[in-house]
Homo-oligomer: A and B are copies of this chain.
Amino acid sequence: MTQAELYAALSRQALETPSWGYGDTGTRFKTFAYPGAARNVWERVADAATVHRLSGIAPRVALHIPWDRVDDWSELRGFAEAQGVGIGAINPNLFQRDAFKLGSFGHPDEAVRKEAVAHVLECIEVLEQTGAKDLSLWFADGLNYAGQDDLRARKRRFEDALSEVYAALPERARLLLEYKPFEPAFYATDVADWGMAYAHLLKLGERALVLVDLGHHLPGANVEQIVAFLLSEGRLGGFHFNGRRYADDDLIVGSTDPFGLFCLYAELVLAEREGVPGATEVSYMIDQSHAIEPKLEAMLRSVLNCQEAYAKALQLDVGALRAAQAAGDVLGAHGVLRDAFATDVRPLLRAWREARGLPADPLRALREGGYDARNARERGTAAAGGGYPT
């Protein structure tokens, strides 16, 4: 690639950061309060805009309903645009109402399922008003004990409810369905793996796509292969990026296995270069839970780790790779991939940033910019508590 092509590719990269990543989150044991953590959707959007201003590649912020609910969505949209960011995916909350204790779309009680569907329909309304493109569905639905509920019946309930919400989706929008093997359910989860999501989506229609959360896999799962498979099927909708070593650890993406993140981006770059339909429509979103990290710095680091992985993938000598593969040259082909990964792309990224008028070292700019101190002063520190915000 020429430098101009590299710069163009880097400039096309666009990540969404999640509004909830700017507030206090934690583990089941404790939520530590971070001084200056965003207290409401306006502050969350402002923080997302900060991350975008520093990085140049995080132009959208995902919303979570009801956490981010406002009276006037056009006001929020305008506020965001004024800050320089757009509204990303709309995320319903199907796990925190008391009614959802035993499930939402899969709940044995029809009344609860209706309540769940109604909430998603409300979120589609938000999607209409904010101009968002993606409805992003994650279900905590599942069972803690063998025999607790009827596995086939729950599947049918999901089919019915998914079909109802898909029908309500505007033509221009997409339904992204996330899967997860466990947590908070520890025996069975209704949409447990990509295959279950995929089987559901086939029954809906072409704008129903799989959302891959990097942390939602069993030990050893090859995520980039799942991604390649879904790309080939035209069913990859997007990502929730984060890092995992054990469970759904929700660490900073790329902090635990940078080579794995690079391999994933390599599949995406290959698909783009080889013209796989839909490859350029994939949504890239951060979804992490920072328990001990400074909020803004953790999000900025995440965005930059994605940029680094992407920049390394852009180094791939695709011709040499495909030739070695075709020749059955096992270590030669692997070596082409490794060489791209071994490249130090930090000088390239600094140069690209300077060409774009961005800070050459965004993390240093953040630290030196005094954002945290100002936020702490203006916003104060929340009372510490447990678990997610309610």
Contact = CB atoms under 8 A, between A and B. Distances in A.
A246 B181 contact: yes
Contacts of A267: 151
Given A147-B333, A147-B334, A220-B245, A385 B384 contact: no
A365 interface: no
Given A259-B259, A384-B98, A233 B29 contact: no
Contacts of A256: 187, 259
A251 interface: yes
Interface stretch (A53-61, A73-81, A119-127, A221-229): A221-229
Interface in A225-239: 225, 228-229, 231-233
Contact of A232 (B145, B156, B245, B389): B156
Contacts of A20: 388-389
A114 interface: no
A54 B232 CA distance: 42
A96 B387 CA distance: 8
A205 interface: no
A96 B140 contact: no
A354 interface: no
Interface in A101-151: 101-102, 108-109, 140, 144-151
Contact of A183 (B32, B247, B343, B344): B247
A48 interface: no
A199 interface: yes
A291 B186 CA distance: 11
A177 interface: no
A145 B328 contact: no
A152 B28 contact: no
B229 A144 contact: no
A151 B343 CA distance: 23
Interface residues of A, number: 117
Interface in A29-50: 29-33
Interface stretch (A5-13, A163-171, A318-326): A318-326
Interface string A361-390: 001000000000000000000001111111
Nearest to A140: B29
A266 B148 CA distance: 13
A32 B102 CA distance: 11
Nearest to A193: B195
Nearest to A308: B342
Contact of A386 (B28, B182, B341): B28
Contacts of A301: 331, 335
A257 B257 contact: yes
A291 to B, nearest CB: 7
B102 A336 contact: no
A386 B256 CA distance: 27
A295 to B, nearest CB: 11
A297 B344 CA distance: 25
A147 B321 contact: yes
A96 B181 contact: no
A-B residue pairs, 4 tightest by C-beta: A195-B195, A386-B387, A147-B337, A387-B387
